[in-house]
Amino acid sequence: MEKELIARLSTVRGDFRQGETIKGWADFCRKFSAENFLLSTLRISCSTGTYIRGLVDEIGKQNGVNAVVFSLTRTKIGDK
């Protein structure tokens, strides 16, 4: 899991504290075993301004677990 996370994070371009994020995920992966995670795929249709990471966090809270976005792909913007 750690190698896949780092590979994905390494492809992101822009100023988003990439080094800090990679280190945080690497530390997390070393601390916890991948067998302790449930991975889910969600397809969400939402309006502009919806914070998907916040939504996922809230879904986790409502279910009594921690939740985090592992991968996010925007497939559409607006009516186009």
- Find how far residue 46's CA is from the centre of its chain: 17
Q: How confident is the model at residue 80 (pLDDT cuts 50, 70, 90)?
A: low
Q: What is the pLDDT of residues 43-68, one digit of tens each?
A: 888 888 889 989 999 998 999 888 88
- Find how far residue 55's CA is from the centre of its chain: 11
CA distance 80 to 73: 16
pLDDT of residue 15: 66
Question: Has residue 70 got a pLDDT over 70?
Answer: yes
Q: Would you give the DSSP letter of residue 69?
A: -
Q: What is the pLDDT of residues 19-37, one digit of tens each?
A: 887 888 788 778 776 666 7
Residue 48 structure tokens: 């502009």
- Under 8 Å between Cβ of 59 and 38: no
pTM for this structure? 0.56
pLDDT of residue 22: 80
Class of residue 1 by CB neighbours under 10 A (exposed 0-12, middle 13-18, buried 19+): middle
Residue 21 structure tokens: 């994020």
